[in-house]
Amino acid sequence: MKSQLITVFGASGLLGRNAVRLLADGGLGYRIRAAVRHPNLANFLPPMGHVGQIQVLKCDVTDADAAAQAVRGAEAVVNLVGILHQGGGHQTFEALHVEAAESVARAAKAAGARALVHVSALGADSDSDSAYARSKAEGERRVHAAFPGAVILRPSLVFGPEDNFFNRFGAMARMSPLLPLIGGGMTRFQPVFAGDVATAIKTCIENTGCAGKTYELGGPGVYTFKDLMQIILRETGRHNLLVPVPFFAATLMSWFLGLLPNPPLTPDQVRLLRKDNVVSPGALTFADLGIQPDAVEAIVPSYLWRFRPKGQYETIAP
C-alpha cells in the first residue's frame, strides 16, 4: 500500500465515493482522510480499503481551522464540495464555492501539499446570469491565487448510480404521467460518468504536468435535455408525455418549487438551463489526460432498471 496521505473534502458525495474507491484501489492505493460534514452518512467509505486505510473525519469546510486540521500531513488534497441550490446557514454558494474553496487552497499550501485538485463545474463564468456559475468562477480564481499549481476540473452533468439527475427524473416518471422540458428541452449537455472524473482526479494527482491547468470534462456524446428524457423513458419502459415548458413559465414555477426543503427546481437553475453545458472548443479535456470516457448508454441502463414498472424482472419472460 502506498504511504502517501490524500485528504478528500466532500468524500461522501457522488464524485467523492468514486474518487475514494479509486484512490484506495482495494487496499493497494493511498491512505485517505475523508473529510465530510456528516460522518454518520459516510460509513460506507472505510470498507473500500484495508483496515485503517480510509479515515472518516468530521469537518465543516466553512471553518478555516477545521480545513487546516484536515489537510495536515497530506501529500495531496482534493476538494469536491459543492451544492446545486442554496440553503440556510453556511449552505450558500458564496460560503462553499468561494470562501471554503479559498480556505482549502490556503490550508493545502500552508501544509506543504504537493498537489491540489479542485473540482468546479462546466459553465463556470464570472459574467453568468447564474449565481451558481459566478460563484464557481470566483472559487476557481481564489484557488489559483492561493495555490497556483492547483488543477481545476470542470465536469459537465455528472451521472452514476447515485446521481441526482437520471434517478430524480426516473422517479418522477414513475409518479407523474408528464415530464417537463424546460425551455423546450433544447439545452445541450455532455454528461460525464463519475468514475471517469475520479480517474481524472487520480491522474492529476500523480502527473505533475497537470499542475496549474484547467480541464473541461465531458462525455463522448452531446445530448439535448429532451434526448436525456427520452433515454430515461426508454430505459424505464415508460411512455410519459414530454411537455415543453417555456423559460418564463419555468421561472414562475421555480419560485414556488424553490421554497421546498429540497427544491427540484430553482430560479437560478432555470438561468443555468438557458446556456448549453458542453466542452468549449480548444479546452483541455479527457483526451489530454489519456482517458477515454464512458457513454451514457454504457452506464445508465445498469441502474435505471429499478424505475421500470416491474423493476429488475421487467424483461424476464413469464
User: Mean pLDDT over all residues of the chain?
Assistant: 94
Q: What pLDDT is recorded for position 314?
A: 67
Per-position DSSP letters for the chain, written without gaps between them: ----EEEEETTTSHHHHHHHHHHHGGGTS-EEEEEES-GGG-TTSGGGSSTTTEEEEE--TT-HHHHHHHTTT-SEEEE----SS--STT-SHIIIIIIIHHHHHHHHHHTT-SEEEEE--TT--TT-S-HHHHHHHHHHHHHHHH-TT-EEEEESSEESTT-SSHHHHHHHHHH-SEEEEEGGG--EE--EEHHHHHHHHHHHHH-GGGTT-EEEE--S--EEHHHHHHHHHHHHT--PEEEEE-HHHHHHHHHHHTTSSS-S--HHHHHHTTS-B-PPTT-B-HHHHT--PPPHHHHTHHHHGGGSTTGGGTTS--
Q: What pLDDT is recorded for position 90?
A: 79
The whole-model pTM stands at 0.94
Instruction: Compute the distance between CA of residue 232 and CA of residue 296 in angstroms, rounded to an integer.
Output: 11
Q: What pLDDT is recorded for position 28?
A: 75
> What angle (nearest 5°) sits at the alpha carbon of residue 212, between those of residues 120 and 129?
35
Q: Which residues of the chain have pLDDT under 70?
A: 1-2, 314-318
User: Does 5-159+191-220+278-294 carry CATH code 2.40.50.140?
Assistant: no
pLDDT digits (tens, 9 = 90+) for 126-152: 999 999 999 999 999 999 999 999 999
Instruction: Compute the distance between CA of residue 280 and CA of residue 124 in angstroms, rounded to an integer.
Output: 12
